[in-house]
Amino acid sequence: MNSAHSRLRLVRAGIDTYQQPVVYMHRDCHVCRSEGFTALTRVLARSGDREVVATLNVVVDDHLELDVAALSESAWTALWPGPEAWGVFSHPEPPASAPALRAKVFGQRLGETDFLALMRDTVSNRLSDIELTAFVTACAGERLDKEETVALTKAMLAVGERIDWGSGAVLDKHCVGGLPGNRTTPIIVAIVAAAGYRIPKTSSRAITSPAGTADAMEVMAPVALDLEAMRRVVEREGGCIVWGGKVRLSPADDILIRIERPLDFDSDGQLVASVLSKKVAAGSTHVLIDIPIGPTAKVRSSSAAALLEARLLATAQALGLNLSVLRTDGFQPVGYGIGPALEARDVLSVLRNDAAAPRDLRGRALDLAGALLDAAPGAEPGKGRAIASTLLDNGAALRKFMAICEAQGGFTEPGIAPHIRPVFANRTGQIGQIDNRRLAKVAKLAGAPGSAIAGIDSRLRIGDGIKIGEPLFEVHARSPGELEYAFEYASAHPDIFEIGVGQ
């Protein structure tokens, strides 16, 4: 194994490939020749007592010496070689889950042992991105039944860490998504924690949206806390809002999310497994799920919501989790901002009780916080919203939010984009419908969520009047190029806001 033909000196490439370990070798190096390595070959790299399976990228010019292997940031972190370290390279064994993956691709049902093998190979990087894409695609639509959804959820739990908060209720809330600007979570966490309950919130970054809760929260406070840091924050303040990828409560899901993001889809089964695996891993006992319903939301009809709700409840029951579902209006955006910093601005304006704060965001946050407080053990039914409203109005929620931010590493005011340009109405009339998906697309083209200050400011709602030449919304961008890119798309789709005949 340590013969000269399989050894190369290791250097740091300084290339971020996110969660995918990559190794770079010259095409004429002795390892490529002796092992038969070619571009995109999966290779097993060992250094000291560490190893990682990585994807090979082949260098064809003189940027890399023949006796050197360069490691991407992900591969370097996995191996963590010392100075002047050498690596040993070979072909990895085929992933143990290969038969299960092939069976799923061909439409067969999988059992718990199959999903466990798949998730183990996922977190150990034994499956390539191509294989993971095949798995995600094979599970899309209705290709996961309820039993498979439970099995996948349990498998995700088994390959991650879990938190035990001891006795007592641990509350949590999640929105299935698809509604731009619906950033209620930081407000809800602040209210529930101010009410004296534990609410350790782990959130994902955006998958198909211009911002996830972790993206918006990161504008105001650090979210990349490890498990021990998260525990300290919750023990001190009762709640937190952190990125789930750092605490590794469901690391397999974080990898699958990376695959789903460019595909721009996820399925009911994968959504349920993703959400509930993280809730159980975070030690939650009582969870509220928000399902917005609308023609351009993620869940488009009441019948689709009923199917998703049934799958959520069945999986939660199998896991011993107390779950309640609240169906909400998904016909139009919530709040004014769409994008991390713009949504963070709205959150703060609600918490600060600003007169100009978006009323729809405030009302929805109070509805959800009230429902979650009603679901807590020993709560008096129907009193939750009034309690939530009092805690928001008297400043207790704001004080708690600021305390959580400080505990997580310090509070920062959201920034403002240097380039802002309005999109104007091309006719006079009344707003009849709003296309949530295309509106979100404009925000993404402007640079969100990669650029935290990018996105759009959209204040019109269904039923509002508009005159030709008046602004429909503003595009915010970090660079002129991104501003133009988003503006061109918005101009090419004037039906994002459907304007009916004026009254």
Tell me which residue of 144, 86, 83 sits closest to 115, measured CA to CA: 144
Residue 2 has pLDDT above 70, yes or no: no
Q: What is the mean pLDDT of the chain?
A: 94
Active site residues: 266
Average pLDDT of span 217-243: 96
Name the helix (H) or strand (E) containing 60: none
Tell me which residue of 289, 165, 152 sits closest to 234, measured CA to CA: 165
Residue labelled with tokens 């008297």:
394
Asked whether the beta carbons of 35 and 42 are under 8 A apart, the reply is no
Residues 123-157: pLDDT tens digits? 999 999 999 999 999 998 889 999 999 999 999 99
Provide φ and ψ at 290, rounded to 5°: -95, 120
Residue 49 has pLDDT above 70, yes or no: yes
User: Which residues is 8 bridged to in the sheet?
Assistant: 87
* Cα–Cα distance for residue pair 171/285, rounded to 1 Å: 6
Residues 452-496: pLDDT tens digits? 999 999 999 999 999 999 999 999 999 999 999 999 999 999 999
Handedness of CA 47, 52, 57, 63 (dihedral sign): negative
Indicate whether this model's pTM tops 0.85: yes
* Cα–Cα distance for residue pair 434/182, rounded to 1 Å: 15
Which domains can be identified in the chain, with CATH numbers? Answer: 4-90 (2.40.40.20), 171-245+269-408 (3.40.1030.10), 419-501 (3.90.1170.30)
Q: What pLDDT does residue 205 have?
A: 82
Q: What pLDDT does residue 209 have?
A: 87
pLDDT top residue among 265 and 439: 439
The per-residue b/e assignment along 375-400, b for 16 or more CB within 10 angstroms, e otherwise, is bbeebeeeebbebbbebbeeebbbeb
The two beta strands, 239-243 and 465-466, are unpaired
Residues listed for the chain = 503
Q: What pLDDT does residue 142 have?
A: 84
* Cα–Cα distance for residue pair 324/372, rounded to 1 Å: 8
